[in-house]
Structure 1
Amino acid sequence: MAKATIWALRVVIALALAGSLVVQAFIVPAIWRDLEGELLWARITFVTLIILGVVTMQVFAVCVWLLLTKVRKGSVFSESSFRYVDIIVWAIAAAAVLAFAMAVLLALGTTAPGIVGLVCGASLVLGGMALLVVVMKNLLRQAIERDVEASALRTELDEMI
């Protein structure tokens, strides 16, 4: 991967993380205040779902950053990369569940059905993204296995020569 691509992706991740901190520090308290007239359990649930959703994005971003570091060092094709990929899968899956829970919460209120449908659709897309990352993980595993096989063949050829 080109250095410019890694640099650009890191800028995007840094901006996303900074934005998520702004959401946690300023937007979530504003939402809490805006929901003042709602039932306390609904208010707490709504704000908690938002906070947890932001946390899933932060976990995802940090793991991608760590994988980019491995790419830059040339060590992404190692077993230790799977730990980060697994965390990414679980973070995306958790975001899908949180989005669906948000849709259910919105459906219980006076939110327009179209909005609830959009949030359900977002949940479905997030679930699909988690499955896509699982496929990518399997491709990574195959690449590592082929690299190990090729290395073993090179070693055998070296011994024969």
Structure 2
Amino acid sequence: MTTMGRAVGVLRILLVLLFAGLVVAQVAILPGTLAHLAEEEPDLAYLRWPMLAFSIVELVCVQVVIVCTWKLLAMVKADRIFSEAAFAWVDAIVWAMGTAWVLLFGVFVFVTTVVAGPGLPVLLFGSVLAAGVLVLLMVVMRALLRQATTLRTDMDAVI
């Protein structure tokens, strides 16, 4: 087995574990945690359901990225990554990450108007910046995949 084959295998195992952890968080951890927080802080209880919806949608976006990455890994293993079929999966990753970023930015704006202290808004601002970098990085990676696919198609035509 090649180094790439081993890396793909290990990555798939980690993706499965991450996906399973996200499902557990969506089903068991988030609802209970937010219910407990609503009991502990009654003045913020109105945020329980919006925060649950936000959290679940954000985790679904991560799950979409995981599934798309899995499909792209299958294409890498089959040496079909430089094909038009890969762009559907990369586009889905970009859209999921973009959606997650827009939602995170919305929460940042909301929290900035509600919270008095600087701690949470600064943390969210850093998260918004980091997420924006990741989205733009994926856009650049998509453009690189487009260039590589074009070059591979040209090389296949020459050979």
TM-score scaled by length of structure 2:
0.88
The percentage of counterpart residues that share the same residue type is: 35
Q: What SS does structure 1 have at the residue aligned with 2:80? A: coil
1:128 aligned residue: 133
1:76 aligned residue: 81
Shift of 1:53: 0.7
1:152 aligned residue: 157
**Residue correspondences, number:** 153
1:159 aligned residue: none
Which segment is superposed worse, 58-67 or 105-114? 105-114
Unaligned runs of 5+ in 2: none
CA RMSD of aligned residues (A): 1.7
Shift of 1:127: 1.3
Which segment is superposed worse, 91-100 or 51-60? 91-100
2:123 aligned residue: 118
Larger Rg: 1
Instruction: Provide the rounded CA distance (Å) in 2 between the counterparts of 1:2 and 1:136.
Output: 19
Instruction: Give the one of 138, 142, 158 matched to 2:147.
Output: 142
Instruction: Provide the rounded CA distance (Å) in 2 between the counterparts of 1:51 and 1:87.
Output: 18
1:5 aligned residue: 7
1:35 aligned residue: 38
Deviations 1:45-74 (A, max 9, x none): 111111111111000100000100111111
Deviations 1:115-141 (A, max 9, x none): 211112111211111111111111111
Shift of 1:111: 6.4
In structure 1, give the amino acid aligned to 2:102. V
TM-score scaled by length of structure 1:
0.87
- In structure 2, the CA distance between the partners of 1:63 and 1:43, relative to structure 1 (3 Å rule), is same
Q: What SS does structure 2 have at the residue aligned with 1:2? A: helix
Unaligned runs of 5+ in 1: 155-161
